[in-house]
Structure 1
Amino acid sequence: MSIFNQKSKFKVKTEVRTVRQAVAPKPKPKPQPSAATPSSTSGAKSRKNGLLSAPLSRASPKSVSPRASPRPTEASSSSGARKRRAVSSRSPASPSFSDSEDEDDDWEDSLDARKRMKRAHWAQQPRDPNRIVRHPKLWTGASGDETDIARLPIIHASRFASLEQKCQPVLGLVPNDVRVKLQYPGARHPERYELVWGKDKIDAVKDIMKVVNFVASTYLVDDEADFLVDQNTGICRRLEKSKNTNDGMVFKATLREYNERILSLQKKGTIAKNVDAMRGLPRDLVAFILDQVYDRTVAPNVELLAKYENGTDNVYGELLHPFISDILERTNAKSDQVFVDLGSGVGNVVIQAALEIGCESWGCEMMENACNLAEAQQKEFSARCRLWGIAPGKVRLERGDFRKNERILSALKRADVVLVNNQAFTSQLNDNLVNMFLDLKPGCKIVSLKTFVHDNKIAENDVATSILDVEHLTYPEEYVSWTSASGTYCISTRRG
């Protein structure tokens, strides 16, 4: 659920192909256990990734990469316009629990349904045989190492959603009873929450339940997850029921049990074994982690992004997570490749590529406020990946004009995928970019909102025409921050 009152970017039509597997029903009427899979609309706010352009920070759509927007007036000139709208919808893979006693579905058939839902959860996961997902410091307890008890430098949810922040207790709790801790699958150090609610604040109850659901769907195999997803006695079921009955003490007791069980699985090496077997991450988990990072770094300071220079390349806009996921899939990005975002804003696209693909990921931005927020995101992203036990690709964020930054110019020579949101760029800056593309290696993919090859140019004098093969594509509605309408973009390939 977004903590801002704006339409979630995850509730959109995507062009990604989904895989459905039919399973023949088995005849034996028994109670139906439902799968516990997390919602693709992460409980955290649906973030917009801001991408200011490097030399002149450019406009960018909402995805994971902040860029300049064509018309950043009503939609992006004020911080309020950038706030997300709350959405309380679930993805088809989300768990659904019912108190009905009339369930007469076949129990074994329902088990199959749960497995199908889990397969659907993984259906959009990028599969890369060379990807190493496990974080090198994923805690197992096997060595008796106590260093993980030391506080990880995460920003706890209670910092922004607490009684001190004028939030109100939920679940019938009194102020003295709202503090809880949440265990993650990758580290021994828990996150602090307060079971409170406030407008435009992190919803602690939903955030906690989503983490538990992701652990069940992603980190544990079917039998291992039974204590979480069993329809009658599972922890997911009991958390949902205590929420619906407003029973905060039962919610807290159930959460303590979850924490103890996860620590036990860590010590046994169960979670490490399962993460070792992963070769990618489900998109909904990627989006949720990115939202957690954004909600604790950029969202509290989003008004800083309202400062832009209209009529220049220094315009703010964002590309949303689904758009970036589609781009990464279409360009066949892999963990052993290099991704470069020219005009990376607050760094959303850079860290998404590093997390979703595991690749070396570079970004360059020149707007000071965006650069500061990008660095805050990078720090929180690094710590939170350790909480989840996930090893992202290397993230490198640079400040300044990407036309002059030597590290970026060097990275471009090795790049496999380059993203540049040139929606609001001047023709001069676009021409400068084309000259930079001369140094790209053959086969490098360039993703842009506008083409660099124009019909009104003379082919023999047009550098872009001579070095780029262009594919024109359309993105669906709700893929960028400055408009809810669909639009066009290009993927250009550097010729050999």
Structure 2
Amino acid sequence: MSIFNQKSKFRVQTEVRKIKQPVEKKPKPTTTPRASSLQPPSTSSARSTPRASPIPPHVQAPKRKTSPDVSKPCSSPPRKRRQPASARASPAAATPLSDSEPGSDDDDDWRERLDPNKRAKRARTVEDPDRRLRHPRLWSGRGGDERPAIVHAADVASLKDKCQPVMKLARDEVGVQLRYPGSKHMERYELVWGKDKIDGALDIMKVVRFVASTYLTNEQAKPFLDQDTGIHRRLEKSKNTQDGRGFKAALEEYNSRILALQEQGVIARNIDSMRGIPPELVEFILDQVYDRTVAPKVDLLTKYENGTDNVYGELLHPFVTDIFDRTKLSSGKVFVDLGSGAGSVTLQAALERGCESWGCEVMENACNLAEAQQREFAERCRLWGLSSGSVHLERGDFRKNEGTLEALKRADVVLVNNQAFTSQLNDHLVNMFLDLKVGCKIVSLKTFVHDNKIAENDVASSILEVEHLTYPEGYVSWTGAGGTFCISTRK
């Protein structure tokens, strides 16, 4: 199955961007994937482990769409939503998005992404021969189908939320429904626009792209992705010309065609032949989950303890995928995120790689949002017809949580964002690593091996083999610049 690339939704803070360091061929730092625009209250302690603390990816002006989760102590401000700034900058009823405006350079790029002959080349899906992706409750056109308990887009972005109609639609014309490949029930949307709200039209267009390019063969996808007459192109043109009724007509045809493919068993057969999910689709699904559960309450993630290990910061989606690639994470393996924040990385591991995925977080607000994400994630996976690995989100101190400590003994990959951890906490972690099995990979922002070779009790140097690596700009939420990280292997 092929897919197309998708832009990230995160935006880096203006101040950080100005400090931008020369990085090889990185245009417009402003568009860096998921860099959060949140600024930590304290520079030093603010940067703790990205996953441990409660700052969700979409907290502030989200520019690019990359689904990063936050780990422990990294204090960068939370992001609000993860859609591209361009998408959010103005209502659809105003100026058409430049990245989809016919005749523009970006438009040519869009055509290239949807070209069936080029989509396969761009796909970087990791094929796992042991993975089975069909959701056990997938609706294949026969029998009943329990309605998914999702948070609908219209529940968080509607006229009631002071949003405005787009595409010259009257207030009583904005309601629409969108069909997904895994269920006969549809999601409710309103074609409206509001600051830091879901852009219904843009979200719908992305779903149409992903469904056609991921779930269908090139031949089956033609009615949806043909560059001149396809449904997606019609949606785009209607959006750009403010033709709300034309947009709704194209959407109705999309819903009808997907229903027919479901009833014919095409969707089910195609999912059965898949052995991996494109990272771009994983990112989009996680963004949907985040936008409906965390984004509306993202301010809760800013309430962290400054000057302690409990600070918030995030590793963005591209970084997390890179980590999975480097550590060869796959189904059948165990992933543990120490300081999992709102749970995004834990969910990403379960969906993208199909592994058993654990996360542990100590901060209450982050734990509450993580539970909300986990519920929505489970229902969204069914809506998309995809099965993920098992997810376990634990509350409490990961040094004492029994479930987490037991999972560590079986772990193949451990993530700990120790960017802002105290030396005492890092030393405690090293003692915990004594229980790891040989060959387990530990990914961290800072090395656990002391620089001082004569340091007393330097257990880390005796049990860990450390590889020092660099990441490019746009990989973390607290800065637009690149940085370093480590992958340590338990000897």
When normalised by structure 2's length, the TM-score is: 0.83
Kindly indicate whether the alpha-carbon contact (under 8 Å) linking 2:347 and 2:374 is maintained by their aligned counterparts in 1.
Answer: yes
- 1:216 maps to a residue whose letter is A
Give the corresponding residue for 1:444. 440
Give the whole-Å Cα distance in 2 for the aligned partners of 1:111 and 1:329.
Answer: 26
Over aligned residues, Cα RMSD in angstroms?
A: 3.3
Give the corresponding residue for 2:485. 489
Give the corresponding residue for 2:143. 145
Give the corresponding residue for 2:330. 334
> Of Structure 1 and Structure 2, which has the larger fraction of its residues in helix?
2
Give the whole-Å Cα distance in 2 for the aligned partners of 1:196 and 1:272.
Answer: 33
Kindly indicate whether the alpha-carbon contact (under 8 Å) linking 2:309 and 2:421 is maintained by their aligned counterparts in 1.
Answer: yes
Name the stretch that deviates more: 235-244 or 212-221.
Answer: 235-244
Give the corresponding residue for 1:117. 118
Kindly indicate whether the alpha-carbon contact (under 8 Å) linking 2:48 and 2:311 is maintained by their aligned counterparts in 1.
Answer: yes
**Runs (5+) with no aligned partner, structure 1:** 16-39
Kindly indicate whether the alpha-carbon contact (under 8 Å) linking 2:301 and 2:365 is maintained by their aligned counterparts in 1.
Answer: yes
When normalised by structure 1's length, the TM-score is: 0.82
Give the corresponding residue for 1:160. 156
Give the whole-Å Cα distance in 2 for the aligned partners of 1:3 and 1:125.
Answer: 17
Kindly indicate whether the alpha-carbon contact (under 8 Å) linking 1:354 and 1:393 is maintained by their aligned counterparts in 2.
Answer: yes
Give the whole-Å Cα distance in 2 for the aligned partners of 1:399 and 1:53.
Answer: 18
Give the whole-Å Cα distance in 1 for the aligned partners of 2:140 and 2:149.
Answer: 20
Q: Per-residue CA shift, 1:113-161, capped at 9, x if unaligned? A: 8233211342x111111111111111112xx311x1x321100000111
From 350, 357, 361, give the equivalent of 1:354: 350
- 2:68 maps to a residue whose letter is V
Give the whole-Å Cα distance in 2 for the aligned partners of 1:280 and 1:433.
Answer: 33
Give the whole-Å Cα distance in 2 for the aligned partners of 1:415 and 1:48.
Answer: 33
From 86, 91, 94, give the equivalent of 1:88: 86
Give the whole-Å Cα distance in 2 for the aligned partners of 1:95 and 1:218.
Answer: 21
From 399, 402, 425, give the equivalent of 2:395: 399
CA shift at 1:398, angstroms?
Answer: 0.4
- 1:151 maps to a residue whose letter is R
Q: Any idea what SS the aligned residue of 1:363 has?
A: strand
Give the corresponding residue for 2:126. 126
Give the whole-Å Cα distance in 1 for the aligned partners of 2:257 and 2:121.
Answer: 26
Give the whole-Å Cα distance in 2 for the aligned partners of 1:458 and 1:442.
Answer: 25
Give the corresponding residue for 2:64. none
Q: Cα gap change, 1:212/1:46 in structure 2, threshold over 3 Å: closer, same or farther?
A: farther
Give the corresponding residue for 2:291. 295
From 70, 81, 104, give the equivalent of 1:66: 70
- 2:378 maps to a residue whose letter is S
Give the corresponding residue for 1:323. 319
Q: Per-residue CA shift, 1:240-296, capped at 9, x if unaligned? A: 111122111111111111101101101111011111111111111111001000000
Q: Any idea what SS the aligned residue of 1:243 has?
A: helix
Give the corresponding residue for 1:6. 11
From 443, 450, 454, give the equivalent of 1:454: 450
- 2:388 maps to a residue whose letter is P
- 2:115 maps to a residue whose letter is R
Give the whole-Å Cα distance in 1 for the aligned partners of 2:47 and 2:112.
Answer: 48
Matching of residue 343 in structure 1 with residue 347 in structure 2: no
Give the corresponding residue for 2:248. 252
Give the whole-Å Cα distance in 2 for the aligned partners of 1:64 and 1:84.
Answer: 10
Q: Cα gap change, 1:111/1:484 in structure 2, threshold over 3 Å: closer, same or farther?
A: closer
Give the corresponding residue for 1:269. 265
From 414, 419, 422, give the equivalent of 1:418: 414
Q: Cα gap change, 1:117/1:161 in structure 2, threshold over 3 Å: closer, same or farther?
A: same
Q: Any idea what SS the aligned residue of 1:479 has?
A: coil
Give the whole-Å Cα distance in 2 for the aligned partners of 1:311 and 1:437.
Answer: 25
Q: Per-residue CA shift, 1:439-462, capped at 9, x if unaligned? A: 100000000011000121437831
Kindly indicate whether the alpha-carbon contact (under 8 Å) linking 1:97 and 1:231 is maintained by their aligned counterparts in 2.
Answer: no
- 2:143 maps to a residue whose letter is D
Give the corresponding residue for 2:281. 285
Q: Any idea what SS the aligned residue of 2:115 has?
A: helix
Q: Per-residue CA shift, 1:164-212, capped at 9, x if unaligned? A: 1111111110011100000001111110000011111000000000000
Kindly indicate whether the alpha-carbon contact (under 8 Å) linking 1:53 and 1:59 is maintained by their aligned counterparts in 2.
Answer: no
Q: Any idea what SS the aligned residue of 2:323 has?
A: helix
Give the corresponding residue for 2:214. 218
Q: Any idea what SS the aligned residue of 1:192 has?
A: strand
- 1:492 maps to a residue whose letter is S
Give the whole-Å Cα distance in 2 for the aligned partners of 1:114 and 1:2.
Answer: 17
Give the corresponding residue for 2:424. 428
Q: Any idea what SS the aligned residue of 1:259 has?
A: helix
Q: Any idea what SS the aligned residue of 1:461 has?
A: coil
Give the whole-Å Cα distance in 1 for the aligned partners of 2:228 and 2:84.
Answer: 30
- 1:428 maps to a residue whose letter is Q
Q: Per-residue CA shift, 1:56-104, capped at 9, x if unaligned? A: 955989663312455x3xx42xx5x766684338xxxx9978479xxxx
Q: Cα gap change, 1:61/1:373 in structure 2, threshold over 3 Å: closer, same or farther?
A: closer
Give the whole-Å Cα distance in 2 for the aligned partners of 1:465 and 1:310.
Answer: 30
Percent identity for Structure 1 against Structure 2: 63
Q: Cα gap change, 1:6/1:113 in structure 2, threshold over 3 Å: closer, same or farther?
A: closer
**Structure 1 stretches of 4+ moved >3 Å:** 1-8, 45-54, 56-63, 81-86, 94-100, 110-113
Give the whole-Å Cα distance in 1 for the aligned partners of 2:436 and 2:443.
Answer: 13
CA shift at 1:112, angstroms?
Answer: 12
- 1:6 maps to a residue whose letter is R
Number of residues paired by the alignment?
441
Give the whole-Å Cα distance in 2 for the aligned partners of 1:60 and 1:423.
Answer: 15
Kindly indicate whether the alpha-carbon contact (under 8 Å) linking 2:48 and 2:420 is maintained by their aligned counterparts in 1.
Answer: no
Give the whole-Å Cα distance in 2 for the aligned partners of 1:82 and 1:437.
Answer: 35
CA shift at 1:380, angstroms?
Answer: 0.3
CA shift at 1:311, angstroms?
Answer: 1.4
Give the whole-Å Cα distance in 2 for the aligned partners of 1:288 and 1:85.
Answer: 10
Q: Any idea what SS the aligned residue of 2:86 has?
A: coil
From 459, 465, 479, give the equivalent of 2:475: 479
Name the stretch that deviates more: 276-285 or 177-186.
Answer: 276-285
Kindly indicate whether the alpha-carbon contact (under 8 Å) linking 1:3 and 1:199 is maintained by their aligned counterparts in 2.
Answer: no
From 225, 229, 232, give the equivalent of 2:228: 232
Give the whole-Å Cα distance in 1 for the aligned partners of 2:114 and 2:397.
Answer: 52
Q: Cα gap change, 1:311/1:459 in structure 2, threshold over 3 Å: closer, same or farther?
A: closer
Give the whole-Å Cα distance in 1 for the aligned partners of 2:327 and 2:388.
Answer: 19
Structure label with greater radius of gyration: 1
